[in-house]
Amino acid sequence: MKKKLGQIGIIGNGSWGTALAKILTDNGLSINWWVRNEEAIAYLKSRQHNPHYLTSVRFMPDTIHPTKDLPGMLQSCDTVIVAVPSAYVQKVIEQVDKSIWQQKNIISAIKGILPDANLLLNDFLTSTFDCPLEKYVSITGPCHAEEVADERLSYLTFSGLDDNLTSIVAQAFGNTYINTTCNHDIWGAQFASVLKNIYAIGAGIARSLDYGDNFLSVYITNCYREMYHFLEAHFEKVHPSNERPDFHTSAYLGDLLVTCYSLHSRNRTFGTMIGKGYSVKSAMLEMNMVAEGYYAARGMQSVSKELSIPIPIATFIYKMLWENLNPSDGFLKLEKLMV
């Protein structure tokens, strides 16, 4: 396993990046860790835990090597895990020459699309940097960082075209509190992860508008129907000759459910604040975290139009977030879409 993956690097020290670092170091692997903030680097080195995210997680000193030198870290690594919010990932990637990225195994732990390009990370890397798709693996849930920190049983799905690499990556993460599965569905698994964040914002808005559990269950059922239709249509338009994925698994439906229902969900929390009257800017400042669904809502409008695949529920959420549609008015209209 170590030989195939070589030296491992993580880009990003938010809650998800910290959770992934915990899993790998618990499994006996050491990591090179790109951290943007010098203060956080010093804190990790002196106290062996992240000062801002998942502060209960402690690392053995010899298992983490935090640094602010991104090119230097990448040069020393064979496998790179990208765990920064999708809104910032393009700027991070473009700091380093594309020839370096072409040589790496790239594991995507982001749950969004790149807002400047309206592309999944793999499509951006292949179209812009000529990175081989066979060296790309995506990580999807259902899995909250907070439950990883508590070592509560969680599930990760790894999607890649190279069975050997995908299996080895999954093995690196599997342990007593992480169950892993693999598939080939890079695009569908990632688009499901993007869409569920948009729908979770809607679930938070609905809760703050005093809709109850009965409506929420109907809302999530309809969200899954819309997601399933999008994934099926995308598969038929883009990958009809490939193996058909099973969309009725935890990476799709399960991740949608936990993101819409869980109090750990930052997208649901963000939606709750929007429903209470917070502006987008004030909600983000209050949370001190990025809600991926906010940027995804806009990006998926471009994807939907380009592929001619309608996503009406996600479109209503987009209008509430980006076009000042009043949430109460928006949900009155959404009620009529529910079946």
User: What are 232's two structure tokens?
Assistant: 């099926």
- What one-character-per-residue DSSP string does 209-238 give? TT--HHHHHHHHHHHHHHHHHHHHHHHHHH
Percent of the chain with pLDDT over 70: 99
Clarify whether residues 224 and 318 are in a common domain: yes
Q: What integer pLDDT is reported at residue 2 of this predicted model? A: 47
- What pLDDT shows up at residue 24? 97
* Torsion on CA atoms 216, 219, 220, 223, rounded to nearest 10: -160
CA angle 335, 338, 339 (to 5 degrees): 145
Total of domains in the chain? 2
Alpha-carbon 202 to chain mean position: 17
Residues 6+ away with beta carbon under 8 Å from 336: none
CA distances from 97 to 9, 11, 74, 138, 288 (A): 17, 16, 10, 22, 31
Q: Which sign, positive or negative, has the C-alpha torsion 270, 275, 280, 286?
A: negative
Residue 242 scores a pLDDT above 80: no
- Indicate whether 29 and 48 sit together in one domain: yes
Within this chain, do residues 175 and 213 fall inside the same structural domain, yes or no?
no
> Could you give the percent of the chain with pLDDT greater than 90?
80
| Strands of the 31-34 sheet, one edge to the other | 64-67, 31-34, 8-11, 79-82, 105-108, 136-140, 154-160, 178-183
Check whether residue 198 and residue 170 sit in a common domain: no
Domain boundary among 184, 199, 232: 184
Q: Are residues 160 and 265 in the same domain?
A: no
Domain-ending residue, one of 184, 214, 248: 184
If asked whether residues 319 and 224 sit together in one domain, one would say yes
Looking at the fold, whether 177 and 261 belong to one and the same domain comes out as: no
**What pLDDT digit, counting tens, does each position of 94-148 carry?**
999 989 999 999 999 998 899 889 999 999 999 999 999 999 999 998 999 999 9
Query: In terms of domains, do 222 and 163 share one?
Result: no
Domain closes at, from 122, 155, 184: 184
**Where residue 50 sits, what CATH number does that domain have?**
3.40.50.720
Give the pLDDT of residue 1.
47
Q: Which residue has the tokens 């001619």?
A: 308
Cα 119 vs. chain centroid, distance in angstroms? 14
Put simply, whether the predicted model's pTM sits higher than 0.85 gets the answer yes
Full residue range of the structural domain in which residue 30 is found: 2-184
Q: Distance between alpha carbon 184 and the CA centroid of its chain, in Å?
A: 17
Mean pLDDT of the chain: 93
* Arithmetic mean of pLDDT, 9-28: 95
Q: What is the pLDDT of residue 111?
A: 86
